[in-house]
Structure 1
Amino acid sequence: MAKKRLFLLTLLQLCSTQSPDFSIPNILIAVSKHAADKVTSSSTVARTTRTTRTTSSYTNTLTDAVTPVNWMPQGIARALGPVSSHIYSVTNKGIDLVQFVKDYREASKNMDAILDIDELIPKYGFRVEIHAVTTKDFYKLTMYRIPGDGRAVFLMHGLLGSADDFVVAGRDSGLAYLLADAGYDVWLGNARGNKHSLSHSTFKPSEAKFWDFSFHEIGLYDLPAMIDYVLHKTNKTTLTYIGHSQGTTAFFVMASEKPEYNQKIHLMIALSPVVFMENVRSPIIRLMSPGTLLTDGFSKSLGQYEFLPDNNFIKVMKLLLCEAGPIAEIVCSNALFLVAGFDYQQLNISNLPVILGHVPSGASIKQFAHYGQGVLSDDFRQFDYGFDANLKRYGVGVPPSYELESVIAPVALFYSESDWLAHPKDVERLLQSLSSVVDMYKVPLQQFNHLDFFMARDVKNLVNNRVLKVMMAL
């Protein structure tokens, strides 16, 4: 308890200071020192002598952190890569702040911001159904359905997202609404750990075991359970799968680990596919990548396993990345923008309160750690628990890679130039790793980013119309 208090005081002090010592390396050194104290008191971890820099791990990285602690700034430098800090800044430059504040205040009157999704969908004339699905490992998931006579379409959200993502763009632009207008039978999934799926047969969200999952478990358990449920309810043998961000990651996990599910997919549309992470530009994901040291430091020391919008790590990132001012204050109040980026030119100010009212929706810190591991490993592979734990779990010291050659379902890849999480080079690499790509579409707008795929002002014309076109062609 004393260590926990000391760790909190250290972090809070760093969060509140503007001194020269306020820097990412110094923050992480404080975290690594705390982790090192824990390591030296653990005979189990202290016995670990096999270390490798190619394997991000709890045990090995923490052992390295004991001596020397100075490795952390080098790890951060390696993780951040050859990028300038200014590309991450959320600023007020070139923006009419008076007009922005006026428009935002007017938009704040929109009641859609406070309506639950099962209230929001009927408001625009659609029927909505709520369905409960239990996974093989006993997580209880919620699905929403907009019934239609056409082919079943299953939409899966991204990291920190939920089913809400596919309706927040509004009645005329939201992908779920457009699909329903076209006559499709629309199913909206929710991964374990988001606001709609916070239940388990045994564990409670207040328990660490509830949050012991990454995108691996979402792909291995959540997606198969929901897909089987949809096919059973609709009496169909296949469906169209549309995923955004983590919704694509989890799909490729499922299609690799459970190849029989390829036969259940008529078409998979990957919006901003996140698989290979070498060129990822998200500062938060990159800062997680020098090992799972941060996961251990923040989660185990603070007893916090859920990625919360108001946690201390996010407070630090806000101070580092955000300038003072109305737009920065509004944007940086939302953890999702800090993770995935921000595009003012495509921001629909009149719809911003609705977006902020529905996202983010929750996630496990382990999900971020898994993505962070992918940055340094330069591979798409299972979670790294450390050499010894990997031997017990996988039979090898390094986590096995997902076998993308097993993915044979037809895949359409949608990507953009300014995506913080799905860099064009990494998407090109994914293209080369798949044998069944039927369409490759780059959004024709330079600044289009990761979140724009579901919330951009012009998302209907730039993305969703193309989605419908591909679906009708196949």
Structure 2
Amino acid sequence: MYSPNTFNSIVLLLLFYGLAGGIKRVSALEPGSVNGICKSLVEPHDFACEEHLVITTDGFILSMQRIPSGRTNSANGPPVLLQHGLLMDAATWLMLPPESSLAFVLADKGFDVWLANTRGTKFSQGHSSLGPDDPGFWDWSWDELVAFDLPATLQYVHDHTGQKMHYVGHSLGTLIALAAFSKHQLLDMLRSAALISPIAHLGKVTSPIARNAADNFLGEVLFWLGVKEFDPRGKAGVQLLVDVCAKPGVDCVNLLTSFTGQNCCLNPSVSQIFLTHEPQPTATKNMIHLSQMIRSGTISMYDYVDVIQNIKHYGQPTPPEYNMASIPTDFPLFLTYGGADALSDVNDVQLLLDNLKDHDGDKLVVQFREDYAHADFVMGKNAKQAVYDPLIAFFNLQ
């Protein structure tokens, strides 16, 4: 039997995810529909918006949005690709008012803005031969985002514009970029990269929800029971949160704080917009992969645990590691992180910075915000002044 406090936490979780009236699957919508990102989040603010579809070499059909101009100007600057984090989609960059959301700010500054949506999110649930109800559709982790999604989206923007682009990633969006850069991939299509709340090492994560989920092998349990899709709004996702919040020392009354750290600068109205569009589904295998990183502290490819399976996939008994120290030292990087971030912990970020210690001094800009946690960087009411203005100044120098 759950204690009263635990029961209250569970009720709050259900309300947070909009499930008090019952649990149901949210079906994928056409990207250009009235509820699509262009129609619902961009065009109402008087910005032009285009819907695009990108096909990966392994058959996934990804939606992308393009904001080709600002409200009063045409794009005269280079393209910028914005890549969201875990359990999010392109709405990440559009939840603040037009004067404050990064996508809108960039467009008004003359950049050609492109928004990515990774496989499995609501508008990227197409495939050449599989549907979201097929287990094979969800047989991927962030390794596949590195190998397929990121190259496909970058190549599409490069081919469409004929220009190299700037890249902005938040959270998981930084991990997949760093992994690609560590293998010297995709750099020929990029001018620079901005890493917001960077994720590389995860061994020092202080988020009680993330830590307990990883330490208790909850991802593996769900996976081997046949739950290939991890939908935070679905029965399995809610059950995971219920189980984690029942653990001693885990306080889920303030769910966002328990997961991301104590955000300093969120406006309540932004939370309502967030709940309308997020969280998004991902693959349970992806959650397992991240859990492996938390438990091991390493940056490796997905571990099949079984030696034979690892040899089958990698030609060796253990998964290969991504070596952050091999990132080219002359590639321009802007890195910003926060002292209150429970996911991109300062100690893990320091390990990444140690890997980058030989980076050319004029090619690496590091910004630290003592008061910022994970969500502040994309939903903070002062994020434009605190983060985006310095980021754009960095882009303008490249």
Closer/same/farther in 2, CA of residues 194 and 417 from structure 1, 3 Å limit = same
Residue pair 1:285, 1:368 contacting (<8 A) in 2 also: no
Q: What SS class does the counterpart of residue 346 from structure 1 fall into?
A: coil
CA distance in 1, matches of 2:366, 2:56: 33
C-alpha displacement at 1:417, in angstroms? 0.4
2:169 to 213, 221, 243: 243
Stretches of structure 1 lacking an aligned partner (at least 5 in a row): 1-16, 24-88, 93-113
C-alpha displacement at 1:440, in angstroms? 0.5
1:296 aligned residue: 220
Establish whether residue 121 from structure 1 lines up as the match of residue 42 from structure 2: yes
Structure 1 residue runs of 4+, over 4 Å off? 318-323
Q: TM-score, normalised by structure 1?
A: 0.70
Deviation digits for residues 58-110 of structure 1, max 9, x if unmatched?
Answer: xxxxxxxxxxxxxxxxxxxxxxxxxxxxxxx99x9xxxxxxxxxxxxxxxxxx
Establish whether residue 361 from structure 1 lines up as the match of residue 286 from structure 2: no
Residue pair 2:209, 2:245 contacting (<8 A) in 1 also: no
Q: What SS class does the counterpart of residue 289 from structure 1 fall into?
A: helix
Amino acid at match of 1:449: A
Establish whether residue 285 from structure 1 lines up as the match of residue 210 from structure 2: yes
Stretches of structure 2 lacking an aligned partner (at least 5 in a row): 13-33, 69-74
CA distance in 2, matches of 1:472, 1:418: 29
Amino acid at match of 1:256: S
Establish whether residue 261 from structure 1 lines up as the match of residue 186 from structure 2: yes
Q: TM-score, normalised by structure 2?
A: 0.83
Residues 71-470 of structure 1: pairs in structure 2 closer than 5 A: 116-119=36-39, 120-147=41-68, 148-236=75-163, 238-257=164-183, 259-290=184-215, 293-301=217-225, 303-310=227-234, 311=237, 312-318=239-245, 321-322=250-251, 328=253, 332=255, 339-343=259-263, 345-386=264-305, 387-408=307-328, 409-434=331-356, 435-436=358-359, 438-443=364-369, 445-446=370-371, 448-470=372-394
Question: How many residues in Structure 1 have an aligned counterpart in Structure 2?
Answer: 355
Larger helix proportion of the pair: 1
Amino acid at match of 1:193: G
Residue pair 1:154, 1:187 contacting (<8 A) in 2 also: yes
Closer/same/farther in 2, CA of residues 382 and 195 from structure 1, 3 Å limit = same
2:29 aligned residue: none
Identity of aligned pairs, percent?
A: 30
CA distance in 2, matches of 1:302, 1:224: 29
Task: Tell me how large the CA RMSD over aligned residues is.
Answer: 2.5
C-alpha displacement at 1:453, in angstroms? 0.8
CA distance in 1, matches of 2:227, 2:53: 29
